[in-house]
Amino acid sequence: MHGLAETASGAVGYVFPNDLHVHWSLMIVLYPYITGIVAGAFIVSSLYHVFHVKALRPIARFSLLFALAFLACATLPLLNHLGHPERALNMMLTPSPSSAMAGFGYIYSAYAVVLLLEILFIYRPTLVRLAQTSTGWRRSLYGVLSLGSDNLSDEALALDRKIIAFLAGIGIPMACVLHGYVGFIFGGVKANPLWATPLMPVIFLLSACVSGIAGIILAYMVIKRGEVDMTCIRTCLKYLWGFFILDFVFEMLEVFSHAYMATHHWETLHTLLWGPLFNSYWVGQVLIFSVVPFFLLGVLSLVRLDDGMVRFLAPLVSLMILIQVLLMRWNVVIGGQLMSKSERGAVFFHPEWFEKEGIVPAIVIMVLPLVILYVLGKIFPFWLPAEEKRG
């Protein structure tokens, strides 16, 4: 219980003595989960801001704040995981050019800047107006957030529009880099046959989009209750289905190619997938939380269901997708470590509730973005009044 690596709860076959420890546990499951939600939410907003999918207008601003709330917490699981969190800035100080992990500090920071600026520029007209109508500390706060400028002339707004287009434009590749790169952190580990595949960044990216869209749908419907824009929801569901088809197909393709090629790695993977990972992978990730939402989304996208049905199914299917992605992260991150590099055995792992990296800290870290989102909602109005002119 030294809170560094957790020890496996059992083993089958021969496991290298040092492989009895699971070094990357719940925190490293959450890290790609959170950055995935960030990247996915950003892409939802970009669908409106860059690709002009008009139906998504009601959630375009909210998605950015949603992304920001999760982005603010993306480093927490990492810091909690590190043996020496006080040395975390070494990543920025001496990033190794050969390390797949070293870029995180800079990519994360750059993306945070882009996201923050995009929010400030998009919200500027609103913030200027709020600065003028509020008093006291709120007035000063809005003054700072509107960058000390009250200029809402056509010339200024035209400049803002250019900047927003630029930020949203570079934001898409950056969101992809942020998360595809997280996939590469795993995909580039040649010593681990479950991780080492060029498909890994692709799967991570697609599942990121899926979790982001699902997160937005769920949050939007929970916050707005009866007042949701049904066209927006239906459009989101179609995108969700599209991304999820790709995501699920690639996930299956990866396992299928391993099984078909049947190199010596397959024996190890087989031991894993039909051993310690059977329930969380086949039963959880694949059967319940992929196949079921896959068909539900198909029905939602292809059949014209009435609004009541959509109102009932959309949050349900979104929640299932969110669980699917969490399970996928679990199965990749934890699963990869359950196979010993001895190629002759695997370990079992069950998280503890009160470990440093246990279930309770994980819940706290997942609730925190929602708290931040609530606070952000007090400052930045999530929803557009119907008559407000878009910048």
The piece of 88-96, 176-184, 319-327, 378-386 that touches other proteins (CB under 8 A) is 88-96
151 binds other proteins (CB under 8 A): yes
Q: Which of 50, 53, 88, 176 is close enough to bind other proteins by CB under 8 A? A: 88
Spatial separation of the C-alpha atoms in residues 45 and 213, rounded to whole Å:
10
- Helix crossing, 154-187 with 199-224: angle to 10°? 130
Radius of gyration of the chain (CA): 22
Q: Which of 52, 137, 148, 387 is close enough to bind other proteins by CB under 8 A? A: 148
Task: Give least dist CB 329 to other proteins, A.
Answer: 15
50 binds other proteins (CB under 8 A): no
| Residues 330-349, mask of contacts with other proteins (x by CB under 8 A) | ------xx--xxxxx-----
Spatial separation of the C-alpha atoms in residues 114 and 102, rounded to whole Å:
20
Q: Which of 10, 54, 83, 230 is close enough to bind other proteins by CB under 8 A? A: 83
Alpha-helical (H) ranges within the chain are: 26-49, 57-71, 76-81, 90-93, 104-133, 136-145, 154-187, 199-224, 230-261, 264-273, 278, 292-302, 307-338, 359-379
92 binds other proteins (CB under 8 A): yes
The piece of 47-55, 100-108, 211-219, 359-367 that touches other proteins (CB under 8 A) is 100-108
352 binds other proteins (CB under 8 A): no
CA angle 115, 100, 167 (to 5 degrees): 20
Question: DSSP letters along 243-303, please?
Answer: HHHHHHHHHHHHHHHHHHH--HHHHHHHHHHTTTTHIIIIIIIIIIIIIHHHHHHHHHHHS
Task: Reduce the DSSP state of residue 349 to 3 states and report it.
Answer: coil
With CB under 8 A, what is the number of residues at the site for other proteins? 65
What residues numbered 185-204 form the site for other proteins, per CB under 8 A? 185, 188-192
Give the count of beta carbons closer than 10 Å to the beta carbon of residue 329.
26
Task: Give least dist CB 20 to other proteins, A.
Answer: 7
List interacting residues with other proteins (CB under 8 A). Answer: 2, 4-5, 7, 14, 16-21, 23-24, 78, 81-85, 87-102, 104, 113, 117, 120, 124, 146-153, 155-156, 159, 163, 185, 188-192, 336-337, 340-344
